[in-house]
Amino acid sequence: MKTLYIVRGLPGSGKSTLAKRLVKSSRHFEADMFHIVDGEYKFDLDKIKEAHEWCQRSAEDAMKEPIDIAVSNTFTRRWEYQHYINMAKTAGFAVQVVDCHGEWKSIHAVPVQTLKDMRCRWENHEN
């Protein structure tokens, strides 16, 4: 059965690395990809909603093919990835939610206070 892997965790936890190992790189999506301009990561807070909409559209388009897909984002709360679960069920995909808890350096230089705030919002996944 085709599977949608939802890979979640704080910045620097290993989400992207794991997602790339689970599926072919062309079937891995994350909102941060939207912020890559000319090969450089250029985060724009004003475009965060647009980035997540792009990620959802990309995943939904990929679900038209019978191949495993991974979406990796912080997803501190269930409602943040619920749309992906709904899309997967509609498309006939199994869903596997994977929490990453590694502690590597974030490649996006996320401020310490932002990490603390994310950690405080963290909700455990419930089946």
pLDDT single digits (tens) 91-125? 999 999 999 987 766 666 666 777 777 777 888 87
In the chain the domains, ranked by start, together with CATH numbers, are 3-121 (3.40.50.300)
**How many Å apart are CA 87 and CA 84, to the nearest integer?**
5
Strand partners, 94: 3
Q: Look at residue 126 and tell me whether its pLDDT is greater than 70.
A: no
What pLDDT score was predicted for residue 44?
A: 86
* pTM summary value: 0.85
Q: Which amino acid is at 32?
A: D
